[in-house]
């Protein structure tokens, strides 16, 4: 099996699993709350897509040299940041394509669910609500990602440093017993 095929199958499998997880969470969250909170969940999912897209762009634009220097000085998160930069193609695919696309798809589905809820509540024109919802989701997603790409490129090293520190702390928290024993 070729590397590209293996990578594609792996990414497809991850996408499938994450889409089920995110969709299940968002549907459960939206179905049990009022419409205002459901809109906040929708905005949160759009923001997550924008943030992960920014991380993907930053990983591709970051320089390896500062992370090598920080890792040599054993700074918190430097090895994680170096890993992200060295694997920028995978990080960009995971963050921008997988998480970003899942968030885009889920936000569209949540938008449709909210339109259905609004039409039932207000006996309004479904086509008009649907048109406005799709346009708003698209504008927020594309506008947010367009704005954040510049930030990701200009602040690539700082963003990857921050993500490296977060990953280090998250790993330490999740695997604290392993970390303490070493």
Residue ranges of domains in the chain: 11-173
Which pLDDT value is given to residue 176?
A: 64
Which pLDDT value is given to residue 181?
A: 42
Contact between 82 and 64 under an 8 Å Cβ cutoff? The reply is: yes
Give the count of beta carbons closer than 10 Å to the beta carbon of residue 9. Answer: 11
Which pLDDT value is given to residue 53?
A: 95
Q: How far apart are CA 35 and CA 75, in angstroms?
A: 45
Q: How far apart are CA 156 and CA 150, in angstroms?
A: 10
The model's pTM = 0.84
Q: How far apart are CA 81 and CA 116, in angstroms?
A: 43
Which pLDDT value is given to residue 182?
A: 40
Torsion-angle region of 137 (φ positive above 0: left; ψ -120 to 50: alpha; else: beta): alpha
């Amino acid at each position: 099996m070729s590397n590209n095929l293996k990578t594609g199958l792996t990414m497809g499998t991850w996408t499938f699993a994450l889409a089920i997880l995110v969709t299940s969470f968002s549907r459960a969250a939206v179905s049990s709350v009022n419409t205002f909170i459901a809109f906040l969940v929708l905005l949160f999912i759009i923001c997550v897509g924008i943030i992960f897209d920014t991380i993907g762009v930053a990983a591709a634009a970051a320089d390896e040299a500062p992370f090598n220097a920080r890792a040599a000085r054993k700074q918190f998160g430097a090895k994680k940041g170096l890993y992200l930069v060295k694997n920028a193609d995978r990080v960009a695919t995971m963050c921008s394509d997988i998480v970003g696309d899942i968030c885009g798809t889920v936000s569209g589905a949540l938008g449709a669910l909210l339109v259905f809820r609004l039409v039932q509540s207000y006996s309004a024109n479904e086509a008009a609500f649907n048109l406005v919802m799709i346009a708003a989701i698209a504008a927020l997603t594309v506008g947010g990602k367009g704005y954040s790409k510049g930030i990701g490129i200009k602040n690539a090293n700082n963003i990857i440093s921050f993500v490296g520190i977060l990953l280090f702390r998250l790993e330490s928290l999740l695997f604290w017993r392993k970390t303490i024993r070493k």
